Amino acid sequence: MSLSAAASGLVLFLLSLTVVQSQNDYAVTYTSTQICAVKGSTVDIGCSFKHPSRVNVLKRVWFTKGNNYNPEDLKTDPAYAGRVSYSSHWKSCTLTIRDLRESDSAVYKFRFETDWKDFTGLPGVTLTVTALRVHVDTSYSNWATLTCQSSCRLNYRPSYIWYKNGHKISRRNQYRYSANLNPSDSYSCAVTGHEDFSSPSVCVRDDSCNRVNYSNRRICAVKGSSVDISCTYNSYESPIQSKSWFRSGRGSEDLTEDSQYAGRVEVTETERGRSTLRIRDLTESDSAEYHFKFKTQSFEWKSSLPGTTLTVTDAPMLPSVSVSPSGEIVEGGSVTYSSVANPTANYTWYKEDEDSEKASGHNFTITDFRPEHSGSFVTVN
């Protein structure tokens, strides 16, 4: 073989090495494949990836829906709007999710696309978002053992805050607490740093103790719309002499007598032990934390427990609408449109560019879906 022929063969061999890549040249590494986090908190799903140095990364995607070849980017999912971000550091793919919801529980996968090939990290990371609850053990005659429980084991060892009758108990940081079996007392717990999502208050004996539990801890609503803020309550002692709603930062003034809310608020009770505050024609200055209180002859519930935090925004309605199923809709199937902004509100649904009302309520479902049903839908409070 001539020298020139040998050289040519060598060049061709080297070129083949730069083109043909093994599977090991591409990888995604997750810090943990199982994560348990408290509702309302922020979670970082640690991730790094690698690829050959001579290829260019075109796109990074985190997803829970779609498939490994056609994923739906979390950043385009209205259920995660404003709550997710991806690390921008080189070869770091850490996902951050803020204000966690129980509906965020899912398997999260990272996929990156290059100018040579695409790669999805398997099996992904299973995130479980847990709410807290208090378990009461009354095995002993005069004492109860209270345990602050979650549906999964948290990935860190948190400290806890305990509340008795809505008021914080000092110097209590363990997940277990012993209490006197007083039938008028209720208890709640929270993870330190995430007090906005404390557990519901529970009685230590029977079910007739003093307590207030809010239907939703956080509500987002659009400027100019209406919102319902609800709670359930119970008094150990009867009768209740007074009850009212108030907002943090303005003392304990009854909102029905507050000039800022004049003509815009009403309080209703459609059933015993449930109070609903309705605020109409919302303004951004209505963004605040709202509380309910009641008073008997010898007891007043005016707790340090979080109430319902309302955020009023002038953002357009359309991004707050989610569609289920999220993938391709089969003719003859069913599709549901839901507002993710305010889980308590009832809406009037319209098809874009049409004036006729389609439905009313929080959700709007089309059964026996047909091509003529296709289009975008908007909501009006």
Q: Which domains does the chain have, with CATH numbers?
A: 25-129 (2.60.40.10), 131-209 (2.60.40.10), 210-315 (2.60.40.10), 318-380 (no CATH)
Residue 88, pLDDT score:
78
Paired tokens of 261: 């809310």
Task: For residue 312, count other CB atoms closer than 10 A to its CB.
Answer: 21
Residue 321, pLDDT score:
54
- 50 and 91 in contact (C-beta within 8 Å)? yes
- 345 and 104 in contact (C-beta within 8 Å)? no
Residue 170, pLDDT score:
63
Query: Consecutive 10-residue runs of the chain (381 residues): their mean pLDDT?
Result: 35 29 77 92 94 91 89 91 87 93 94 93 95 90 89 84 88 80 93 88 91 91 93 93 91 88 93 94 95 94 89 65 52 57 54 55 58 53 49
Strands in 95-97's sheet, in edge-to-edge order, are 43-45, 95-97, 84-86
* Alpha-carbon span 146 to 172, nearest angstrom: 12
Residue 357, pLDDT score:
52
Kindly report whether the global pTM for this prediction surpasses the value 0.85: no
